[in-house]
Amino acid sequence: MNSEDIIKSTSKVLPKLNLDDCKSVPINNGGSDRDYYRISLVDGSSMIVMQYTSDRPDNIKFDPATKILKKNGICSPEIIYHDKENMIMWLEDLGSDHLWDHRDSEWNKRGKLYLTVIDEISKLHSNNEKNLSSDDISQLEPGFDKDLYKWEQDYFFDHFLSYYSRRAPSYQDSLRQESEFNKLIENLISSERFLIHRDLQSQNIIIHKKKPYFIDYQGLRLGLREYDIASLVYDPYVTFTKTQRDEIINYAFKDRDKNEWGPLFEACSCQRLMQALGAYSRLGNELGKTEFLKFIPRALENIREILENSDILPRLTPYLSEEAISL
């Protein structure tokens, strides 16, 4: 759809809205397959229009996921109208001030924003299979289980190592079969699952009226809380010092025993970064969104740091060294 079509569709579903002299401008949609537009009205108000497809099954989950978030008092955009037949949604405009836009701010300000994100996501993380209704669970994306974790690992091998490893494909295939990857999965599936965002990074959080609002949460599902926190603090779009990262991590887990969350957090961090490396490579090398390739070096730095300071995936470590990877 072009901007003119967006205006026509808006006029049809919201006939009482004054669309005279309004403007519709496309918004960069990042790595998603959804198209976004901002409609600016003459009275100074605005709204977001999202057009999606059924190519990805999680696209149709945005509406029920929003309802679940709202039910739990979690900051997220209001749905103004949903045209399910044409797969178009009109949303509250939360503005363009993403958490990512504060990446160069003084830590005194930036750090406080991250702590508010932890407070907000904690509301989501308080939900598990015990207190969610069967109807809510049925509306979620399939939860993290052995198959999904294995899929993420294969995604890393298929879309990252296959492009950047200097090791022969036969060595990569041999590495893939190492028991340490199954051991990692067994560790991840051994703990209780809670409701998680699944892609909790700085570009999926908007600061609106001094509060963090979550977007792109159509991947809402049951999983490990540590996975969300790992997504946030090992986000390759931004940088942290060790002290800054530790401040966020310790705040996130302040009410829990480190012997319980520490190993899970390390495991989730490795798992998440493998998924991210696969995603950046696929987006950049296969789908032509080359802007994502610039985030690979930082994602590599992050996973190298974790591997060097833990005993997770020891056989993977040499495959990710500077000598073994050709960027």
**What are the tens digits of pLDDT across the range 71-118?**
999 999 999 999 999 999 999 999 999 999 999 999 999 999 999 999
Q: Where in the chain is the domain with CATH 3.30.200.20?
A: 3-92
What per-residue confidence (pLDDT) applies to 32? Answer: 72
Confirm if 158 and 278 have CB atoms less than 8 A apart.
yes
Confirm if 325 and 166 have CB atoms less than 8 A apart.
yes
What does pTM read for this prediction? 0.95
Write down the mean pLDDT value for the chain: 95
Q: Where in the chain is the domain with CATH 3.90.1200.10?
A: 99-320
What per-residue confidence (pLDDT) applies to 77? Answer: 98
Please give the CATH topology (third level) of the domain spanning 3-92. Phosphorylase Kinase; domain 1 (3.30.200)
The confidence band for 29, taking pLDDT boundaries of 50, 70 and 90, is low
What is the CATH superfamily name and number for domain 99-320?
A: Aminoglycoside phosphotransferase (APH), C-terminal lobe (3.90.1200.10)
What per-residue confidence (pLDDT) applies to 31? Answer: 64
Among the ranges given (1-5, 14-18, 185-189, 192-196), the one the predictor scored with the smallest mean pLDDT = 1-5
- Mean pLDDT over residues 136-154, rounded? 97
Confirm if 273 and 306 have CB atoms less than 8 A apart.
yes
Report d(CA 13, CA 26) in Å as an integer. Answer: 20
The confidence band for 146, taking pLDDT boundaries of 50, 70 and 90, is very high
The confidence band for 152, taking pLDDT boundaries of 50, 70 and 90, is very high
Find, among 182, 24, 176, the residue nearest to 88 by Cα: 24
Confirm if 98 and 27 have CB atoms less than 8 A apart.
no
**Other C-beta atoms lying within 10 Å of the C-beta of residue 218:** 24
Report d(CA 116, CA 244) in Å as an integer. Answer: 15
The confidence band for 229, taking pLDDT boundaries of 50, 70 and 90, is very high
| Max CA distance (Å), the chain | 64
pLDDT digits (tens, 9 = 90+) for 2-28: 878 899 999 999 999 999 889 899 997
The confidence band for 1, taking pLDDT boundaries of 50, 70 and 90, is confident
Instruction: Look at residue 30 and tell me whether its pLDDT is greater than 80.
Output: no
Measured between alpha carbons, how far is residue 323 from residues 45, 159, 275, 318, 319 in Å?
A: 53, 19, 22, 9, 8
- Mean pLDDT over residues 204-215, rounded? 97
- Give every strand in the sheet of 35-40, ordered side by side: 23-27, 35-40, 46-51, 88-92, 79-83
